[in-house]
Amino acid sequence: MAKTNVTKFSSGQEEGGEREVGGVAGKRLKSLIERVERLEEEKSGLADDIKEVYAEAKGTGFEPRIIRRLIKLRKMDVEKRREEDELMELYKAAIGMS
């Protein structure tokens, strides 16, 4: 392992920000954490959107369970096709056609 960046970093939320324990590493870590948190927020927003769609579907008489199954099946189709393509690539590579 090259660098280790072992950084003491308080887990509390002292408003106003980090004391310079760990120096620049602290800043960097904080930035990483905030990026992840932001992305996760967006992600869970989308999860909520999806739930809304299912709720709406249910409201108009479509069973969410069935829709879920259909979507799963379609996804499996896509994956199967992709998998087949990859296998084909493997074959080609094996016989020197890559």
Among 17, 20, 21, 87, binds a copy of itself (CB under 8 A): 87
Site for a copy of itself contains 22 (CB under 8 A):
no
Secondary structure class of 41 (helix, strand, coil): helix
Given a contact cutoff of 8 angstroms between Cβ atoms, the answer to whether 64 and 50 are in contact is no
Cα angle: 77, vertex 82, 87; to 5 degrees: 125
Site for DNA contains 9 (CB under 7 A):
no
In the chain, the amino acid numbered 65 is R
Site for a copy of itself contains 20 (CB under 8 A):
no
Instruction: Spell out the alpha helix ranges (H) of the chain.
Output: 24-59, 64-94
Secondary structure class of 92 (helix, strand, coil): helix
Among 16, 27, 72, 98, binds a copy of itself (CB under 8 A): 72
Footprint of a copy of itself (CB under 8 A): 1-9, 11-13, 28-29, 32-33, 35-37, 39-40, 42-43, 46-47, 49-50, 53-54, 56-57, 60-63, 65-67, 69-77, 79-80, 83-84, 86-87, 90-91, 94-95
